Chains A and B, each alone.
Chain A
């Protein structure tokens, strides 16, 4: 009976993990560029008391053995990289990636992080930086006397300067794609880092090699679906309750065995 207690405990722990994941998704429902996570469960190994197919007598084989399962565990928490919807802001430095790809950002510790969040600003030197001051890679500097910034679908950044009628190109935004975006490691601050599971970063201009195009004046909202998360939450709570009832039943049975004499 102790097996049932531990099995039900693994069930409750799994539901706790599920609730943590759901809570994180709900908390980030208005975070720009946020990708929801999903907890995936799988059953633990089985204890075989009698092997299926064992010989019962000459010519008779046991049709199925006797096995006991030992519960459930969280196999993976996978990030779902579905595209969020577009929010029109008309801010010249708000960019949305329409399709695959990430913006490379130079982080303070020297590494390159990747993000879907396209809210960019200008720092004092005119460089395009994200909201934490980390510059976009490759660096693009907007000259101080520029009056209007225009970013084309293919990532060409051009400005209108006093003294010349034609717009001048000051830089090219590049995007990075991965074979398996779900294998990226989340660092927080809307940044991701590549790992062995995600594959090497494949850099390119927007629109080439299956990379998406960029759209100026738009932002990608979070892809969290509130209805889904609510339903998951109800299911999680009731599963947690069922597992706690199993623990109560096992406890009662142990109590009965203790009261045998």
Chain B
């Protein structure tokens, strides 16, 4: 009797533990503004074929154990983690009344400049630094739209450091729905809202930032994302769904553990009691 099945059960248990890690991160960030929940997908990881698929001969021979092997070796497969996908569904909006809070409605992101290069974020809670530059709460400057409309790195694009927004003195700052910034009636530029058809190439970096792993993917021109001042986008994590997923994960882990225990007991009986 082959002991390979125990490794299938083990891979199942490891997959469930990874699932719990993702659920834990989603629940911990259920109140983080602009947070997008993660989902795992798993796939079957096939072992090598035990026996090559055979053409089924019309049985004029007595049936033997070999007749039952036509599952083509796919009866022992492991679970492998296929990928972690971020769910970019729109979160809710919460009114805060703060002039420097914006919520994005749509698929776009705000572009910010970090020492490692431009990054994207959905978290629209902004503040001013000592020089009057509009920054995120971490101190990364928020960028305005490139006048040449080119993607960064492409020919004709201006240096991201030149696109920071400086707010002079006092006077309330107003954001229009298209992201234009006005202070005392004069325009300070338009917030750079970056939108992609498909957000799969964006990688989470922590600090509520996303990095663009593939700069050749084209951006959507004429983004339809709206900017709402005085609101903050809440996390899109659904606690009820995460809880039910967690129950399922916990019980799946328990089932995998039972399988491992069953293999153990069978091996124990085989080794200890049969030779008696």
Contacts and interface: CB of A to CB of B under 8 A. Distances in A.
Interface of A: 1, 3-5, 7-8, 10-11, 14-15, 18, 38, 40-46, 48-50, 52-53, 62-72, 75-76, 78, 80, 82, 100, 177, 179-180, 182-183, 196-200, 209-211, 235-236, 238-239, 242-243, 245-246, 249-250, 252-253, 256-257, 259-261
B201 A52 contact: yes
B214 A53 contact: yes
A197 B123 CA distance: 21
B264 A261 contact: yes
Contact of B249 (A5, A38, A48, A249): A249
Interface string B10-34: 0001001110111111111111110
Contact of B169 (A38, A41, A65, A209): A209
B27 A243 contact: yes
B27 to A, nearest CB: 5
Given A43-B206, A260-B264, 12 more contacts: A7-B25, A8-B27, A14-B31, A52-B201, A64-B86, A66-B83, A68-B21, A70-B206, A82-B97, A177-B170, A182-B127, A210-B169
A239 B21 CA distance: 17
B229 interface: no
Interface of B: 13, 16-18, 20-33, 35, 38, 40, 81, 83-86, 96-98, 123, 125, 127-132, 137-138, 169-171, 200-201, 203-208, 213-214, 239, 242-243, 246-247, 249-250, 253-254, 257, 260-261, 264
B80 to A, nearest CB: 10
Contacts of B250: 249, 252-253
Nearest to A61: B214
A261 B265 CA distance: 9
Nearest to A211: B170
A196 B31 contact: no
Nearest to A250: B20
Contact of A43 (B13, B23, B24, B204): B204
Contacts of A211: 170
Secondary structure dominating the interface of B: mixed
Contacts of A250: 20, 24
A75 B28 contact: no
A71 B21 contact: no
Given A65-B84, A68-B84, A179-B128, A52 B33 contact: no
A57 B94 CA distance: 45
B200 A63 contact: yes
B171 A210 contact: yes
A235 B169 CA distance: 37
Nearest to B260: A260
A182 to B, nearest CB: 5
A61 to B, nearest CB: 9
29 contacts: A3-B21, A4-B20, A4-B23, A7-B25, A42-B137, A42-B206, A43-B32, A43-B208, A45-B206, A48-B203, A62-B83, A63-B200, A68-B25, A68-B84, A69-B29, A78-B125, A179-B169, A197-B130, A199-B130, A211-B170, A242-B27, A242-B239, A242-B243, A245-B246, A246-B23, A246-B28, A256-B254, A260-B264, A261-B264
B34 to A, nearest CB: 9
Contacts of B249: 249
A198 B129 CA distance: 7
A71 B83 CA distance: 19
A4 B130 contact: no
A260 B264 CA distance: 9
A216 to B, nearest CB: 23
A7 B28 contact: yes
A162 to B, nearest CB: 42
A259 B25 contact: no
Given A180-B128, A197-B130, A43 B35 contact: yes
B17 A42 contact: no
Contact of B213 (A53, A80, A100): A53
B84 A64 contact: yes
A1 B15 CA distance: 10
Given A64-B83, A80-B98, A180 B32 contact: no
B98 to A, nearest CB: 6
A208 to B, nearest CB: 11
Given A62-B83, A180-B132, A245-B246, A4 B169 contact: no
B101 to A, nearest CB: 10
A7 B206 contact: no
Given A8-B28, A82-B97, A67 B254 contact: no
Contacts of A4: 17, 20-21, 23-24
A162 B35 CA distance: 68
A47 B205 CA distance: 9
